[in-house]
Amino acid sequence: MKALTGVKPVTIYEVARRAGVSIATVSRALRGSELVAAETLARVRAAADELDFRPSRLGRSLAEGRHAANGIVFPDLVGPYYAEVVLAYEEVASDLGRSVLILATHRRRDAVDRVLELAQRVDGMAIMGNTVDDDTVERIAAAGIPVVLLARPPVGDLDTIRTRNEETAVELAQHIVHHGHRRVVFLGDPDASPDVAGRYLGLSRGLRLARRARPAVVPIELDVEAGEAATRRLLARQPRPDALVCANDEVALGAHLAAEEAGLRVPTDLAITGWDDILGARFAGLTTVRQPMRDLGATAARWLHERLEDPARPVRQQVLPTQLVVRRSCGIHHPEVER
Amino acid sequence: MKALTGVKPVTIYEVARRAGVSIATVSRALRGSELVAAETLARVRAAADELDFRPSRLGRSLAEGRHAANGIVFPDLVGPYYAEVVLAYEEVASDLGRSVLILATHRRRDAVDRVLELAQRVDGMAIMGNTVDDDTVERIAAAGIPVVLLARPPVGDLDTIRTRNEETAVELAQHIVHHGHRRVVFLGDPDASPDVAGRYLGLSRGLRLARRARPAVVPIELDVEAGEAATRRLLARQPRPDALVCANDEVALGAHLAAEEAGLRVPTDLAITGWDDILGARFAGLTTVRQPMRDLGATAARWLHERLEDPARPVRQQVLPTQLVVRRSCGIHHPEVER
DNA sequence: CTGAAAGCGCTAACAG
DNA sequence: CTGTTAGCGCTTTCAG
């Protein structure tokens, strides 16, 4: 028997009155305290049900001094990459009984303010890659909000989870060299995010180890259009590059488009590699690097929860493994070709 | 000159004491009330700055009776589809000064409870497709929380935004018939979501109009693996279907994989279509239907804001157009082939 | 212009 | 076991 209560929320007072007890008893009864007589408990429950009472989250949070909510800050949500991270984060957090607030910073200049505002609404938050500067991170942490850093270098003594960029990029470089490519260009902006920086560094190091020239870098956005446009420009130059190492798969797919348009064949005329292993990469036969994105998000949520439970626990920093996925966009003579 | 305040949040009382005024004056000053002397204003500002004061969101919300936050409920975030919707929603909501809480229901049986909990934290929310039943939606709306429905049929007199499914599916059916395909199978579960139901209905209707047999339906999950497995099974049957209409692109890409594995050529031996036009579709040459996903999310956020501003404004229901994107997975004789 | 004080809805001592 | 009461931090009358 649910009473339609209209637009005025039912408060604990009304339940108390209806059950003929005090609000303290209602509170106890509804949150499963031992200190309530069975019969009282039943009366309170009945009253609450009849009124369809749901305790105000605000009142409760204010009294408890906690939000039971987590935040996550990421640069954007285009492409499957961040979506996966955020989803896994939400899934774990939700199962742990915490709501999740999201904030995409894009490159708004008021990103810092928005993050600070977010910090007012959560008990802890995950902060990804290229969103806000270290000062802001430290400021939030100093305010007592647990923070876990995602895909960015450690700041202070904060929990940090990253994926392996540089080492796998070295491996990728070797793979490229192995296929005889010489004029290598990196498409992506190392200054744009720690991830991209690591990938560029690894590529450079790998090429250096193989005594090849340092790669040229074309700092662009990480989307299909930018990859396509940049490649179009590059292919007009002489000599043409013979390998494009792209900072992510979207760029690589854009490069593919431009190559096709120019009548070039991949990998014969031009090798292309990506990063992330999004769904499209598989269908384009793109050699790329697979990242455990769901792990990133899930671990962040779990760690945050554990730190909230025990603020004194030791700091953790982890680098998740990534994996070179060899398909055909680099050359086809390689043994471990994957479909 | 920022004072490190440690872990105890600065309250309005401390600012008031430091500025030598009452908390009421601090409140007024900081929220830009006219009723504060210029000199007082300056003193309060200085004190707040020195203490790095940020008003407690909880205190404020409780007093104001509003959260300045919106929720969005969706079934999942796998695949680019929902991610795009959510991102656009966040972007608009954030610009309107509202935080956003997300909730993925997956198919948890406690989805209703979680949505109800979410309702306690927001001023309004968007509810997508196949998440919770109409009763729950009405219950939330009845509690005075503005709701906008996304990609699901209207419930009561709530604002609703959908994309055109049935009509475009009819068009798709005609396209398929036009290419001479006869044994058409629909991959997807019409009971799984209103969107899928609409697509199936349109396909059936289109085939009927062309006097073709009603399509068989294989109710599966909407991911690559399910599409691949189902197609593998279908291709083992005699006679083989000659056209697979998939409820989304992931399924279609999975079907592609299975066809390839079976040594069949698309579209010669088997036509395949998808829905959503994700990035991978383009590279697989998949004929599909493009949906304005960002519009969906952005419009939802905007409408919600407008309704919050003016609860009495007229209800709106809108169906956003979708567009058949013809590539090569159905046959190549069509005039309007797109790259 | 400014301060005092009454809530907002709930939790958690503290007394019985 | 149960009720009283003091906050949690802020906004907003209501009086000066």
Predicted local confidence at residue B4, as pLDDT: 34
> How does pLDDT run across B173-215, given as a tens digit for each residue?
999 999 999 999 999 999 999 999 999 999 999 999 999 999 9
Q: A189-206: b or e for each residue (b if 16 or more CB lie within 10 Å)?
A: bbebbbbbbbbbebbbbb
Predicted local confidence at residue B336, as pLDDT: 47
Predicted local confidence at residue A5, as pLDDT: 37
Q: Which residue has the tokens 């692109």?
A: B249
Q: Which nucleotide is nearest to B9 (CA to C1')?
A: D9
Q: Are A252 and A224 in contact (CB under 8 A)?
A: no
Give the chain A residue whose CA is nearest to the CA of B143.
A7
Percent over 90 (pLDDT), chain B: 86
Q: Above 80 in pLDDT, residue B337? A: no
Residues 6 or more apart from A47 whose CB is under 8 A from it? A15, A18, A19, A26, A53
Q: CA A312 → C1' C12, Å?
A: 25
Give the chain A residue whose CA is nearest to the CA of B111.
A94
* Cα gap A329→B257, rounded to integer Å: 18
Q: Above 90 in pLDDT, residue B121? A: yes
Q: Above 90 in pLDDT, residue B90? A: yes
Predicted local confidence at residue B333, as pLDDT: 61
Q: Above 90 in pLDDT, residue B320? A: yes
* Residue A229 in tokens: 């446009």
* Cα gap B102→B104, rounded to integer Å: 7
What parts of chain A have a pLDDT lower than 70? 1-7, 77, 333-339
Q: CA A24 → C1' C15, Å?
A: 14
Length of chain B: 339
Which window residues (42-71, chain A) lie with Cβ within 7 Å of strand C? 53, 55-56, 58-60, 62-64
Predicted local confidence at residue B77, as pLDDT: 65
* Cα gap B284→B225, rounded to integer Å: 16
Residues of A in contact with B252 (CB under 8 A): none
B143 touches strand C (CB under 7 A): no
Q: In terms of pTM, does the model score above 0.85?
A: yes
Which window residues (68-97, chain A) lie with Cβ within 7 Å of strand C? none
Q: Which nucleotide is nearest to A11 (CA to C1')?
A: C9
Q: Above 70 in pLDDT, residue B319? A: yes
How many CB pairs below 8 A link A and B?
Answer: 141
Predicted local confidence at residue A4, as pLDDT: 34
Q: Residue closest to D6, CA→C1'?
A: A63
The three-state DSSP-derived secondary structure of chain B is CCCCCCCCCCCHHHHHHHHCCCHHHHHHHHCCCCCCCHHHHHHHHHHHHHHCCCCCHHHHHHHHCCCCEEEEEECCCCCHHHHHHHHHHHHHHHHCCCEEEEEECCCCCCHHHHHHHHHCCCCEEEEECCCCCHHHHHHHHHCCCCEEEECCCCCCCCEEEEECCHHHHHHHHHHHHHCCCCCEEEECCCCCCHHHHHHHHHHHHHHHHCCCCCCEEECCCCCHHHHHHHHHHHHCCCCCCCEEEECCHHHHHHHHHHHHHCCCCCCCCCEEECCECCHHHHHHCCEEEECCHHHHHHHHHHHHHHHHHCCCCCCCEEEECCEEECCCECECCCCCCCC
A24 touches strand D (CB under 7 A): yes
Predicted local confidence at residue B3, as pLDDT: 33
Average confidence score pLDDT of chain B = 92
